Copies of this chain bind each other. A is one copy, B any other.
């Protein structure tokens, strides 16, 4: 039961970035997205991947590689779409 709750928790927090990535991809609306959040979060998840590798933990590695891909995609879109269209 405890394990089930843990796997469910991991699944939900990992997959939750999918609707955000799709929403951002479709709307290109990134003004409400915090660059600071995705800079810190992406760095943090990259460290979780390193931690999972060092601990040789399959579930930790798998969940965090998925999250890292999605968070990195959102960060790149924030940087790309967030630029002011003109300089004047």
Instruction: Give the shortest distance, in Å, between A60 (CB) and chain B (any CB).
Output: 10
Closest B residue by C-beta to A15: B40
A88 to B34, CA, bound (A): 31
Contact B9 A48 (CB under 8 A): yes
Binding site secondary structure of chain A:
helix
Asked if A84 lies at the interface with its beta carbon under 8 angstroms from chain B, I say: no
Instruction: Give the shortest distance, in Å, between A29 (CB) and chain B (any CB).
Output: 4
Count of A residues near B, CB < 8 Å? 43
The residues of B that contact A9 with a CB separation of less than 8 Å are 44-45, 47-48, 50-51
Contact A40 B54 (CB under 8 A): no
Q: Kindly list 8 other residue pairs between chains A and B, CB separation below 8 angstroms, not including A6-B55, A19-B34.
A: A2-B51, A5-B47, A6-B51, A8-B47, A9-B51, A12-B44, A13-B45, A32-B32
